[in-house]
Amino acid sequence: MAFIHLSVVFSLMALCSSAPLECNDTVKPIAIWNPNEVFGKWFIIAASNDYKPYIDMFKTFRNSWMDLQPVSDSNFTMKQGMLFEKCIWTTEYFTMTNHSGFLTYTMRNNTFGTFMATCPNCLLMSFTSLDGSNVAKSFYIFARSRKFEASDLEKFKQQVECLGLPPPVFIDNQETELCPEEGTSVITSHPEPAKPDEDLKSKST
Ligand SMILES: *[C@@H]1O[C@H](CO)[C@@H](O)[C@H](O)[C@H]1NC(C)=O
Ligand SMILES: *[C@@H]1O[C@H](CO)[C@@H](O)[C@H](O)[C@H]1NC(C)=O
Ligand SMILES: *[C@@H]1O[C@H](CO)[C@@H](O)[C@H](O)[C@H]1NC(C)=O
Ligand SMILES: *[C@@H]1O[C@H](CO)[C@@H](O)[C@H](O)[C@H]1NC(C)=O
């Protein structure tokens, strides 16, 4: 997703220290021992963030899938098919570092995050973004299928509340049609409905 590769600086310590104490048990990084738990295709279930340019972008966002695949031990690709008013496909390289099972990832030199504890068959990605002096926090939950338990969504809502984030700006309604698999070259010929990067750049100067 475009919003995942935005200028993001993630600090595990910052996240932990900013969470109220009662969140300790519900919002925490998760150790992942089997890489296959993160590789492959995922569908976004819900998203929350606290930065207006990101929030605005979700107004026309309908759904997305992403496919995480290893390139080497520390280099990975995140391929995405996102439906806004039209489908947009992106492929992003990122590095992933394994701290005794706790995986932190970096994209575009300024995008950092880690996987957080969540429901089984779910993937919870946490980010903190720096845009000039602005700090944006984002929390995105994915699942292996678009069907998800109401209780899992409730847990996600509690997590974002614990973090002091606004309620989810996006929840998949499972009715919109997904974008098909597609080459990333297509993206250059599209108009630009989803260019939060531009917003960010113009705001930071
Ligand atoms: C939460 O974490 C802090 C810092 O590690 C600790 O001092 C506190 O006791 C923890 N609270 C709970 C409820 O676990
Ligand atoms: C991370 O490293 C540990 C060893 O510290 C290893 O057992 C585990 O499989 C690795 N996890 C991933 C996702 O590569
Ligand atoms: C990952 O690998 C791709 C393809 O080899 C390369 O273009 C890219 O620069 C690499 N990215 C990082 C962060 O190492
Ligand atoms: C990433 O940051 C390093 C250190 O600040 C810098 O040397 C490098 O050019 C940057 N790479 C990109 C692609 O911006």
133-189 pLDDT, tens digit each: 888 889 999 999 999 899 999 999 999 999 999 999 999 999 999 999 875 444 433
Q: What angle do CA 171, 8, 86 make, to 5 degrees?
A: 45
Q: Render pLDDT for 67-118 as a digit per residue (tens, 0 to 9).
A: 999 999 899 999 999 999 999 999 999 999 999 999 999 887 677 999 999 9
The residue contributing the CA closest to ligand 2 atom 14 is 35
- Judge whether 4 and 125 are in contact, CB under 8 Å: yes
Task: Say what the pTM is.
Answer: 0.76
**Pocket test residue of 22, 24, 28, 162 for ligand 1, highest count of atoms within 8 A of CB:** 24
Separation of 25 CA from ligand 2 center, angstroms?
22
Two tokens at 150? 């109401």
Side chain identity at 98, as an amino acid letter? N
The confidence score (pLDDT) of residue 128 equals 83
Cβ of residue 74 lying under 6 Å from some atom of ligand 3: no
Q: What angle do CA 172, 196, 47 make, to 5 degrees?
A: 25
- Cβ partners under 8 Å of residue 93, min gap 6: 71, 75, 76, 77, 78, 107
Beta strands 40-49; 111-116: pairing state = unpaired
Separation of 110 CA from ligand 4 center, angstroms?
9
Lowest mean pLDDT, pick from 14-28, 45-59, 68-82:
14-28
- All domains of the chain, ordered by start, with CATH? 2-200 (2.40.128.20)
Two tokens at 181? 């698999």
